[in-house]
Chain A
Amino acid sequence: MKWETVIGLEIHAQLATHSKIFSGASTAFGAEPNTQACAVDLGLPGVLPVLNSEVVNMAIKFGVAVNAHIAHESVFARKNYFYPDLPKGYQISQYELPIVGEGQITITPEEGISKVIGITRAHLEEDAGKSLHDQFTDQTGIDLNRAGTPLLEIVSEPDLRSAKEAVAYARKIHSLVQFLNICDGNMQEGSFRCDANVSVRPQGEEKLGTRAELKNINSFRFLERAINFEIERQIDLIEDGGEVVQETRLYDADKNETRSMRSKEEANDYRYFPDPDLLPVRISADDIQHIRDTLPELPEQKRQRYVEELNLSEYNADLLSGSRDIADYFETALAEAPDLASVLANWILGDLTGALNKSEMAFTESPVSPQQLAGLLKRISDHTISGKIAKDVFEAMWNGEGDADDIIERKGLKQITDTGAIEKMIDEVIANNPDQVEQFRAGKEKVLGFFVGQIMKQSKGKANPGQVNQLLRDKLKS
């Protein structure tokens, strides 16, 4: 039987505020345990939550960017459950009236294929603390620094049909929240987390199959693997006459498998009700318009501008606008060398990306700064060095040997444009290779390449290849 996969994602994006959603405690990552958990975060008696205005602004930014309806009135609700890292015994979340309603986003799972994915809603909530199981042998340690950190939970429609599409969607949201400056996107630190609802149904069937919810996925690679594992598990189960049960499953990256989290089952009755400590949040049309007007340039707009104003190829424009880090790098370099957009694009997506991948580094960690790269490319465009020598200079910059101009000067890499010096080399090569000269004069044009190669070698790459070509032809024909 042919099976169809149905996936919906729940993404938790940690909002990049200074303070928590309902208290004035810091949200900075990596502090000593419990030094950033105040009375509100600890749920001590008598405290009241006060909503952070920036959290509301960030949620609206996201909503506007995905063309969603922004609720003029939204309500916080209590989600009740007991767990040691949730001191109040409830999480403040939104239930019936979330701040962001239905929206959509376009993904490109494959070059040339695009698909619109529905966003069901996005709501604000507070994060829980952290349970540390490996600190003590028979007890659990609780760090409440994370308790009360603002989260935007973004829920997609079950519109995704493969692990590949799910990853494309997650990447798109990941890139968007970073462009909007509302989330740092750091998956290792847990600032961007994905849960996947996965089910299968026979091809052509309308009714959705029973879904399993996959948790604990902290990279795009694991997201793809976890979903693919789960799809296969469900199909095997059904084909062997079994039935998928609705449950939460934990992804284990080491074993590449998902396994049942039984304890979550009975806790699924959260008894939501409006939080009496918080009044409804009202947002005016003016507030929304103001945010719409001050939104930064988004990936889609960048992509268009790169193609229309900078004359980049669709492909390069897509890659350069695909992540905040790359776009920032490109635009900083472009500010230094405004006429070299296309060359910059090729170097950034070619040599630089290659070198970064090889060293497993991000664009923000690049040893060659955007200014340095622009400086190098200016020297190619004004013919100070050849494209070939530029690769050596790039490597020297990568190794921290300084700016392009320093390196060119120090290593004497300036292109030889002095005709006399080149002519001398050409005369020598012609004198030393009479056979090849004969062949050329007999009409074998290909031999020209041999001569150019010899001269470039002798000049250690510093001769201008165009000039060498011209002078060679003149001399060989005379």
Chain B
Amino acid sequence: MTLKREDVKNIAHLARLNIDEGAVDRYAADLSRILELVDQMNQVNTDDVMPMAHPMDASQRLRADEVSESNQRDKFQAIAPDVEIGLYRVPKVIE
């Protein structure tokens, strides 16, 4: 599978990455080579292998439904760039 310039731009946009117009071709080539490797791996017959959702063959540990966190808003908000009346402020986002 080969990525086109448009694919690279679309992926960058979805990931909110700002990439240089001049670098698009290079990214397309590099990423395509990774996909070639994936293609190569896809050649292996895995019919008898159960797919894994995680490299570790273990199951999720669960915790009890208990409130264990206290209010630490002041600490968290001390590192936020813009805070007012307890809210984090961001540029206007409205439909």
Contacts and interface: CB of A to CB of B under 8 A. Distances in A.
Interface string B77-95: 1000010111111111111
Contact of A37 (B58, B60, B76): B76
Query: Main SS of chain B's interface residues?
Result: loop
Interface residues of B, number: 36
Given A250-B95, A269-B14, A53 B64 contact: yes
Interface of A: 17-19, 23-26, 32-39, 42, 44, 50-56, 73, 75, 80, 82-84, 97, 131-133, 135-136, 138-144, 250, 261, 263, 267, 269, 271, 274, 276, 278-282
B76 A53 contact: no
A39 B60 contact: no
Name the residue among B60, B63, B86 with the largest chain A CB count within 10 angstroms.
Answer: B60
Contact of B65 (A19, A97, A267): A19
A51 B62 contact: yes
Query: Main SS of chain A's interface residues?
Result: loop
B77 A278 contact: no
Contacts of A142: 87-90
Given A141-B87, A144-B88, 11 more contacts: A19-B69, A25-B67, A34-B77, A35-B71, A51-B61, A51-B62, A53-B65, A139-B91, A140-B93, A141-B84, A263-B95
Contacts of A281: 59-60
Contacts of B88: 34, 84, 141-142, 144
Contacts of A269: 10, 14
A177 B85 CA distance: 36
Contact of B60 (A24, A82, A250, A282): A282
B68 interface: yes
A138 B64 CA distance: 42
B54 A24 contact: no
Contact of B63 (A50, A132, A135, A139): A50
Contacts of A263: 95
A97 B88 CA distance: 35
Contact of B61 (A18, A44, A50, A73): A50
